[in-house]
Amino acid sequence: MKPLLLIIIFPIGLFAQQQSPKDVSRWEKQAKNVTIIRDSFGVPHIYGKTNADAVFGLMYAQCEDDFKRVEMNYIEKLGRLSEVKGVASLYDDLLMRMVIDSTDAIADYKNSPFWLTVIVVLPSALSRLTVSTTAVFTSCPGVSANNCSEPMSTG
């Protein structure tokens, strides 16, 4: 029974998304610029050399605390919640895909002030967390922390 189970489960790892060494080294470099200290209540106090480093630490700490919620919010904004929660969420997905336009979002991002552009570290923080742990997080096929930076297709 165990060899059969191994033969069935082993190929799943072959299809897992692989991180490039370049990306991993970039995440490691940014992680070295961040210090997260939790107080006796578990509240994270985040220190970074730059604003982007602090946001990276914040997102990393948030994912450590409640990755499931972060992941579900991301899946919802992609318009793929019905893949996880079933047919009842289909109209929510349709609404997300109608309302959220990636072309407008990209244009707004390009016109935003510099201080707002630090949000690009969210995918890095999520990806760093998935590299630094052996847990499997993804609830939705084809959605991972590694494709957070890809714009959602509205077509």
pLDDT at 149: 40
State pLDDT tens for residues 31-43.
888 999 999 999 9
Q: Where are the domains of the chain?
A: 19-147
Looking at domain 19-147, does it have CATH number 1.10.439.10? yes
pTM across the whole model:
0.60
pLDDT at 139 over 50: yes
Q: Which of 57, 30, 55 is nearest to 44 (CA)?
A: 57
Q: How far apart are CA 22 and CA 45, in angstroms?
A: 29
State pLDDT tens for residues 76-114.
988 899 999 999 999 999 999 888 877 887 888 788 776
pLDDT at 155 over 50: no
Q: Which of 18, 21, 27 is nearest to 147 (CA)?
A: 18
